[in-house]
Amino acid sequence: METAIGDNIFDGLYRFNEQMQEQPDIAQDVPSVSADGLTYIFHLRHNVRFWNGDPVTAADFVYSWNRAAAIGGDWSGIFQPVAGYAAVATAGKVSSDTRLDLSASDKYTLVARLSVASGSWLAQLGLPGAWVVDQNAIAQGGADQWWTKPNDLVGTGPFRMTDWTSSGELDFAPVANWWNGNTGALTRVELRLVTGTDDWTGYQNGQFDVLGFGQPYFAVHNVASIAALRENAAQRSEVHSWPLGTTAWVGFKLPSGLFSGSGEGRQLRQAFSQAIDRNKLAHAVCQDAAICVPATGGMIAKGLQGYLGDGADPGARFDPAAAKATVKRLDPNGTRLQGLTYYYPVPANDPSQAAAVNVSAQWSANLGVNVTIKALDKTTFFTNEAYGTFTMWRQGWQADFDHPQDWFDNLFINNAGCSGPICTVYDRPGFSTLIASADRKPLADALPDYRTAGQMLASDYAYAALYYLVRTVVIKPYVQGYGANLLWENRWTSLRILQH
């Protein structure tokens, strides 16, 4: 929700359009990059202003990016390649000794120096962590509270907040004389946080025009109501769905134990993966594609760079006879696979629990193996995951941006995304080297390497992909222009309300 709102309030040097293509925003064009890939020079537009009239300069980006790196949080890793990041992140503050290697060579020229070349860094600059904020507004409103006050929540985007009521209602209006031109047809946007039956009652009586804005897992908690709309011939067209850019899969402990190695461990991984009928799973869990669709094209979700292609994942080919034969051969008396447990986190926004029930039942029916399913609270679950405690568990990833590095660097390479000493890594010879090499290249040159890496994982059955998640939103027929891509909703500038 915060990202969906913020996308209408803030801008960065670059932004992703509705087709997820990165385009210059406050930057005039793509940056100049040194031959070694370590120095980036950005030239800013001269006409950009915050809605309060403050001009936007290169110094504002120096301030904003240092502030984001020091605060930490979900988006601070954008600046990890920038020299000085480790010191800023460790200190949690910006000082003369701890700061990113950024400079304003003149009012409209920003220079960034990296400590390591990164082929994906430019793509990451379209993300929320790289938005520019107004130092004067933050000083006026207070570092911890400025964003809660309409007069201090100052951005460069097409909308500004006008009210935040105690009941949780947020009101927004288009920015007068917005620097980037037309703000669209809306004169006011009202957001309300509603739960239970209030949202559906309000939608049916016309109080709300859209349900599910900024909530990628809205359908998971509203299955019955969405199904009722679809059963109504006059309203079924009000249910809209888009791919979400998120994959869920069964994770196997690869460094050691039952599923490790390229011999019998690989054969067991293959058996457990090919014993799952993805269509049957989707029928039980995905609610007619309102929540998810079967994952058959690899770990990276369909529609994103690095997707292998429909049906390209050999582990997704349902073959219960071969899978059962493998298990019978490797565990003839049923003792080797005794006592297996599949873990998943709760409370979960996605359909992890329903999928766990279904997959366990399929393993029992198709392999003759009883796998206990166990839910853990999120803190316990992710701690155990990081320390390599589990043998089988629900893994998943939601794309931050459309670049394969976002997947590989956070999942299967050595020490990727791990806080503990034992990580679930994929150690096939050449894999980490291939990823490291790809990470330094421009995406066009790196994509073949990333695809090769994806095929290595798939052909080695390093995971058992389950489903790609789907975003579903309910929209009145008189609302025109609402849309989303695999990452987030379109800006409000594209919306129109027709006569009704």
Q: Which of 157, 167, 161, 127 is nearest to 147 (CA)?
A: 161
Q: Which of 394, 409, 418, 398 is nearest to 453 (CA)?
A: 409
d(CA 435, CA 437): 5
d(CA 478, CA 185): 14
Q: What is the mean pLDDT of residues 239-263?
A: 93
**With 70 as the cut, is the pLDDT of residue 318 above it?**
yes
Residue 421 binned pLDDT confidence (cut-offs 50, 70, 90): very low
Q: What is the mean pLDDT of residues 264-273?
A: 98
Q: What's the pLDDT score for residue 182?
A: 94
Q: What is the mean pLDDT of residues 52-80?
A: 93
> pLDDT tens digits, residue range 36-45?
999 999 999 9
**With 70 as the cut, is the pLDDT of residue 227 above it?**
yes
**With 90 as the cut, is the pLDDT of residue 342 above it?**
yes
Bridge partner list, 163:
171
Q: What is the mean pLDDT of residues 449-478?
A: 96
Highest mean pLDDT among 193-202, 241-250, 377-386: 241-250
Share of the chain above pLDDT 90, in %: 74
Q: Which pTM value belongs to this model?
A: 0.91
d(CA 496, CA 209): 11
Q: For the purposes of burial, counting CB atoms within 10 Å of the CB of 500, is it exposed (0-12), middle (13-18) or buried (19 or more)?
A: exposed
> pLDDT tens digits, residue range 72-123?
877 888 999 999 999 998 888 888 889 999 999 999 999 999 998 888 899 8
434 or 417: which leads in pLDDT: 434
d(CA 407, CA 30): 24
d(CA 358, CA 250): 13
Q: Which of 176, 190, 82, 191 is nearest to 129 (CA)?
A: 82
Q: What's the pLDDT score for residue 197?
A: 64
Q: What is the mean pLDDT of residues 280-308?
A: 95
Q: What's the pLDDT score for residue 415?
A: 55
Q: Which residues contact 247 (CB under 8 A, 6 or more apart)?
A: 295, 299, 300, 301, 396, 397, 465, 467, 468, 469
| Contact between residue 113 and residue 101 where contact means Cβ atoms under 8 Å apart | yes
Alpha carbon distances (Å) from 465 to 28, 202, 291, 453, 495: 41, 38, 16, 16, 36
> pLDDT tens digits, residue range 114-157?
998 888 899 899 999 999 999 999 999 998 889 889 999 999 99
**With 60 as the cut, is the pLDDT of residue 25 above it?**
yes
Q: What is the 3-state secondary structure (H, E, C) of the chain?
A: CHHHHHHHHCCCCEEECCCCCEEECCECCCCEECCCCCEEEEEECCCCECCCCCECCHHHHHHHHHHHHHHCCCCHHHHCCECCHHHHHHHCCCCCCCCCCEEEEECCEEEEEECCCCCCHHHHCCCHHHCCCCHHHHHHHCCCCHHHCCCCCCCCCCEEEEEECCCCCEEEEECCCCCCCCCCCCCCEEECCCCCCHHHHHHHCCCCCEECCCCCCHHHHCHHHHHHHHHCCCCHHHEEEEEEEEEEEEEECCCCCCCCCCCHHHHHHHHHHHCCCHHHHHHHHCCCCCCEEECCCCCCCCCCCCCCCCCCCHHHCCCHHHHHHHHHHHCCCCCCCCCCEEEEEECCCCCHHHHHHHHHHHHHHHHCCCCEEEEEEHHHHHHHHHCCCCCEEEEEEECCCCCCHHHHHHHCCCCCCCCCCCCCCCCCCCHHHHHHHHHCCCHHHHHHHHHHHHHHHHHCCCEEEEEEEEEEEEECCCEECCCECCCCECCHHHCEECCC
Q: What's the pLDDT score for residue 451?
A: 96
**With 80 as the cut, is the pLDDT of residue 1 above it?**
no
Domains, the chain, with CATH or none: 11-148 (3.90.76.10), 159-239+476-497 (3.40.190.10), 243-470 (3.10.105.10)
d(CA 437, CA 114): 17
428 or 495: which leads in pLDDT: 495
Q: What's the pLDDT score for residue 198?
A: 67
**With 90 as the cut, is the pLDDT of residue 422 above it?**
no
Lowest mean pLDDT among 26-30, 107-111, 201-205, 334-338: 201-205
**With 70 as the cut, is the pLDDT of residue 338 above it?**
yes
Q: What is the mean pLDDT of residues 411-420?
A: 62
Residue 329: how many CB atoms within 10 A of its CB? 11
Average pLDDT of the chain, as a whole number? 92
> pLDDT tens digits, residue range 150-162?
999 999 999 999 9
**With 90 as the cut, is the pLDDT of residue 188 above it?**
yes
Alpha carbon distances (Å) from 314 to 65, 221, 391, 458: 43, 32, 22, 7
Cα-only R_g, the chain = 24
Q: What is the mean pLDDT of residues 233-252?
A: 95
Lowest mean pLDDT among 47-61, 88-102, 446-460: 88-102
